[in-house]
Amino acid sequence: MNTDVEELLREGMERFTYDLRAPAGIIRRAARQHCRRLMLRSAAGLAAALTAGAVALVAVQSPGAGDAGSEGPAITTAYVLGRVNRALSAAAPDIAQLQVSARGAMFAGKPATLSYVEWIYGDSGRAVTTSPAGRLIADNSVVAASSRWTATVVSYTAQTWARWVTEIPALRVPARTAPYSCQASTYPGPFAQIPWALPASRAPNPSAIHAVPSGPFLVPGTDSATVAADLRTAISCGTLTVVGRQRVDGVNAIKLRPRHSRAGLAALAQPVETVWVNARTYLPVRMTVGQQSQRWTADISWLRPTAGNLAKLTAPIPAGFRQVPVTQVVQAILTEIFGHSVRL
């Protein structure tokens, strides 16, 4: 084998790169970058000469200041990803609010578009799920405090609710045994944490409640703690590249997509398909996962952890709803989602 290592390495390099093609217009891009550097230099020189205006001038022209989408720095993929990484790092203490649309999710035995809103904040989180017709189905939350979770599940169809307290390890989502990685993973859906709050003998098969296509784990109760951390890992997987700009809900956004060779980088599974980041703040504002028929789309907002926003993490109990054992609430929710009776 030793004598073959050099040959195997060479073949490995071939496999890793064989269908890579240089992007069109590389000279134009290099020329633009060169011009920007010259502008930066002349700005810096001028700033040195003008003592009073120096600071302001360099601040306007230097990379990292202002809107990268309009002026100044060369917008290379590495630059954008570096800024996104830093923005996510700064946003780690914020609450991530995700408006999710899961096309191709199974509802009542048929593929449909399920939507839900999630708030995720470290080990705490909440998901409000609506049916394809827009009717409220369920509201479930887990709020972490002093190594315990207070879990609440509300069924809007049965008009029932349950609340219980558990040690955090007991409720952790088993499917998420490791932090988000570049490897493809299955997104457990908004109901993932429910079965593990039940006695083991009554817990349904986890795979039975996977309501959405594969995607990133953005669920509470996970080791990597925050959506920001997961997204940072996602962008660090090394395959995202800047492909252009789009407006997302009125925001000027930079679009990032994986671009990889079939032979080489395809071996590294790519869970995140497309990410749009705000061109001014560099925080992700939208991400999609999956194919045309099965697509998970999340519009992301970042909320400061004020008292008002933290209150969003707990599912409220609507007036007139009955408190029942947790199994009854979960049974009602799962029966509606599966479209047939589910006994726990």
Partner 1 sequence: MATERSMQELECFLAGRADHLLRTAVLLTGSREAGEDLLQSAVERLLRRWRRFEGDPEGYLRRTLCNLATDGYRRTGRWRQKALLLRSQLPQPRDATGDVDLRDALVRLLMQLPARQRAVLVLRYWEQLTDAETAVVLGCAEGTVKSAAARGLMRMRELADNWNDKNDTAAGHGAKGKRS
Structure-block tokens of residue 136: 């409220």
Structure-block tokens of residue 293: 């028929």
- If binding is defined by CB under 8 A, does position 82 make contact with partner 1? yes
Q: How far is the CB of 186 from partner 1 (least distance, A)?
A: 15
Task: Using the minimum distance from each CB to partner 1, give the nearer residue, 44 or 344.
Answer: 44
Structure-block tokens of residue 264: 């080489």
- If binding is defined by CB under 8 A, does position 34 make contact with partner 1? yes
Q: How far is the CB of 262 from partner 1 (least distance, A)?
A: 12
State the burial class of residue 97 (Cβ atoms within 10 Å of its Cβ: 0-12, 13-18, 19+): buried
Task: Using the minimum distance from each CB to partner 1, give the nearer residue, 81 or 298.
Answer: 81
Task: Using the minimum distance from each CB to partner 1, give the nearer residue, 15 or 312.
Answer: 15
Element (H, E) at 172: none
CA atoms in the 13 A half-sphere facing the CB of 269: 13
Question: How many residues does the structure list for the chain?
Answer: 344
Task: State the CB neighbour count (10 A cutoff) for residue 227.
Answer: 33
Q: How far is the CB of 161 from partner 1 (least distance, A)?
A: 39
3-state secondary structure (DSSP) of residue 232: helix
- If binding is defined by CB under 8 A, does position 30 make contact with partner 1? yes
Q: How far is the CB of 248 from partner 1 (least distance, A)?
A: 21
Q: Are strands 322-323 and 160-167 parallel, antiparallel or unpaired?
A: parallel
Task: Using the minimum distance from each CB to partner 1, give the nearer residue, 34 or 135.
Answer: 34
Q: How far is the CB of 257 from partner 1 (least distance, A)?
A: 11
Task: Using the minimum distance from each CB to partner 1, give the nearer residue, 208 or 269.
Answer: 269
Segment interacting with partner 1, rule: CB under 8 A, options 45-53, 80-88, 169-177, 323-331? 80-88
Rounded-to-integer distance, Cα 120 and Cα 260, Å: 31
Rounded-to-integer distance, Cα 240 and Cα 56, Å: 34
Asked if residue 95 lies in contact with residue 312, where contact means CB atoms within 8 angstroms, the answer is yes
- If binding is defined by CB under 8 A, does position 31 make contact with partner 1? yes
Rounded-to-integer distance, Cα 79 and Cα 234, Å: 16
Out of 40, 54, 69, 85, the residue judged to bind partner 1 by CB under 8 A: 85
In degrees to the nearest 10, what's the CA dihedral of 115, 312, 319, 152? 80
Closest CA to 125 of 203, 219, 209, 56: 219
182's CB contacts (< 8 A; 6+ apart) are: 233, 234, 236, 237, 238, 268, 269, 270, 271
- Interface with partner 1: number of residues (CB under 8 A): 52
Q: How far is the CB of 36 from partner 1 (least distance, A)?
A: 10
Task: Using the minimum distance from each CB to partner 1, give the nearer residue, 26 or 200.
Answer: 26
Running DSSP on this structure, what letter comes out for residue 281? T
In one letter, which amino acid is 327? T
- If binding is defined by CB under 8 A, does position 163 make contact with partner 1? no
Touching partner 1, residues 1-20 (CB under 8 A): 1-2, 4-6, 8-13, 15-17, 20
Touching partner 1, residues 312-341 (CB under 8 A): none
- If binding is defined by CB under 8 A, does position 305 make contact with partner 1? no
Encoded one letter per residue, x for contact with partner 1 by CB under 8 A and - for no contact, window 210-249 reads -----------------------x--xxxxxxx-------
Q: How far is the CB of 283 from partner 1 (least distance, A)?
A: 17
169's CB contacts (< 8 A; 6+ apart) are: none
Encoded one letter per residue, x for contact with partner 1 by CB under 8 A and - for no contact, window 278-297 reads --------------------
Task: Using the minimum distance from each CB to partner 1, give the nearer residue, 76 or 159.
Answer: 76
Q: Which residues bind partner 1 (CB under 8 A)?
A: 1-2, 4-6, 8-13, 15-17, 20-23, 26-27, 29-31, 33-34, 37, 76-79, 81-82, 85, 181-183, 233, 236-242, 259-261, 264-265, 267-269
